[in-house]
Amino acid sequence: MNSLRLFYIIFFQFYFFFSFCQDSSALNSEFTVVIDAGHGGKDPGNTGNGFIEKDIALKISLSLGRLLENNGVNVIYTRKKDVFVDLFKRANIANQSDAQLFISIHCDSHTSQAYGAGTFVLGLHANQRNFEIAKKENSVIFFEDNYENTYEGFDPNNPESVIGLTLMQEEYLDQSIIAASYIQNSFVERLRRKNRNVKQAGFIVLKYTYMPSVLVETGFLTNKNEGLYLNSKKGQTEMANAISLAVLKYKNDFFKNLSTSSIIKKDLNKGLSYRVQIAASNKLLDLKPYNFNGLKSVEVVKEGSVYKYLYGKHKTLKDANESLIIAKKYGFKTSFIITYQNNRILSVN
C-alpha cells in the first residue's frame, strides 16, 4: 500500500467520524487489531494428549489483548469466553471494526511428534501438509447451521474448493505476509521456538476478512512437551508476549506516521460516491453479465496488480445499501460498500 493511498484511507475514516460524532476526540488516529481465539463452545478444536485447544487459544488471546491494550492498541475480540462463533461471523466482527490487522490463534496437531510454531496467510497450499492444516481448521463449519449456503458449497475435504477462497484476500497478501513474518521471527528470536516458517493455505476464516490477516499455530498439542508448555501459564504468557511485540513492531513500521488535519467537507465531497465491491482478483475479467452471475453494469478499477469489480454508484450510503442487497441476491454474499473518489477506493464502509 503506497503512502498516498494510506493517507486517503485514514483521512476519510476520520471524516466519517467527524460527520457522525459530536466528540472531537473521535478524530484521534487509532490502530485496531481483531484477536480471534480459535474454536470454542461445542467445538473443542484438537485435544492432543488431553489438552484442549479452544481453552489454550482463548487464554493466549486474552493475554495478548491485554498486552496490546496496555500499549495503546484498540483490541476487538471475536470471543472472550467459551462460546461457539461461526467462521463467517468472526470475519464480520473484524470487517465491522475497520481493523488494520486480524490474528486468529490456534494450536496444531499431527500424527508424529512434530513441534514448533508456525504462521499462515491465505493462499493456495503448496503441499499436502498445508492442506491438511487448513482442512482441520475449516472443518469447524460442520458445527454451523446451514453451512452449505453460508459458504456456497465449499467442501473442506476437497483441495479444489480452496482455489475459490483466495479471491478477496489477494490485495492484502503482501501486508499479511509481513505481519506473519514479524510474528514468526518473534517466536524464533525471542522464544527459540522451532521455525516452521510463514506458509500459505486456504483458511475460511481469513478469506472473508478485508484487511491483512494471519493465522497462528502456536504449537502442537500432540507433542506432549509442547502441549504441557502451551497449557501452562508460562507458555501462554510467553506466546502472547512474543505476538504482541511483533504486532507493535508492525504498527510502528507501517502506521506510526498516520495523522490528519482539519477537514473541509466541500473538498472531501467533491467527486465522492459510494459503490459496492463485489470481487477482487489479479485477473481481468470481461465485464459481461455472464461473468458476474447475470449482474449487469459491473465496472472495474485497478489498484496495483489487483482488479476490483464494482457495482452501483451513489451519493448516499442508503442508496448504496440497496445496490449491496441486489449484489448479494446475485450471489455475491461477501460484497461490501466502499467510498470512491477520483478513480480511487478510499475506504471500506
For 66-98, give one letter per residue: b (16+ CB within 10 A) or e: ebbeeeebebbbbbeeeeebbbbebbbbbbebb
Q: Are residues 104 and 145 in the same domain?
A: yes
Confidence of residue 9 (pLDDT cuts 50, 70, 90): very low
Percent of the chain whose predicted confidence (pLDDT) is above 90: 40
d(C-alpha 211, C-alpha 214), whole Å: 10
Given 224, 255, 286, which residue is the final one in a domain? 255
Question: Which ranges of the chain does DSSP label H, i.e. alpha helix?
Answer: 3-20, 53-69, 87-96, 128-138, 147-150, 173-191, 204-207, 224-230, 233-255, 265-269, 317-329
Burial of 109 (0-12, 13-18, 19+ CB in 10 A): buried
Is 33 in contact with 74 (CB distance < 8 Å)? yes
Judge if 194 and 281 occupy the same domain. no
pLDDT band for position 27 (50/70/90)?
A: very low
Of the candidate ranges 30-34, 131-135, 183-187, 263-267, the one whose mean pLDDT is the lowest: 263-267
Structural domain including 125 reads 30-255
Please indicate whether residue 132 or residue 266 has the higher confidence score (pLDDT): 132
Which CATH number covers residue 278? 3.30.70.1070
Question: Which amino acid, 136?
Answer: K
Q: What angle do CA 49, 50, 55 make, to 5 degrees?
A: 120
Q: Is 87 helix (H, G, I), strand (E, B) or coil?
A: helix
Q: For the chain, what is the domain count?
A: 2
The predicted structure's pLDDT at residue 7: 45
Q: Looking at the domain assignment, is residue 183 inside a domain?
A: yes
Least confident of 123-137, 196-210, 253-267, 279-293: 253-267
Q: Are residues 80 and 188 in the same domain?
A: yes
Backbone φ and ψ for 37, nearest 5 degrees, come out as -80, 115
Measuring CA to CA, which residue among 37, 82, 87 is closest to residue 62?
A: 37
Per-residue pLDDT at 10 exceeds 90? no
Residue 8 lies in a domain: no
The C-alpha cell at 103 is 490474528
pLDDT at 318 over 80: yes
pTM over 0.95: no
- 228, pLDDT greater than 90: yes
Q: CATH number of the domain that 69 lies in?
A: 3.40.630.40
| pLDDT confidence of residue 272 | 80
Higher pLDDT: 316 or 45? It is 45
- In three-state secondary structure terms, 272 is coil
pLDDT at residue number 268: 42
Flag the least confident range among 186-190, 220-224, 305-309, 345-349: 345-349
Does residue 305 have a pLDDT over 60?
A: yes
Do 58 and 122 have their domain in common?
Answer: yes
- Side-by-side strand order, sheet with 298-303: 298-303, 306-314, 273-281, 336-341, 344-348
Question: What φ, ψ does residue 153 adopt, rounded to 5°?
Answer: 80, 10
The CA–CA distances, whole Å, from 320 to 24, 39, 182, 276, 337 equal 27, 34, 38, 7, 7
| Cell (9 digits) for 174 | 503482501
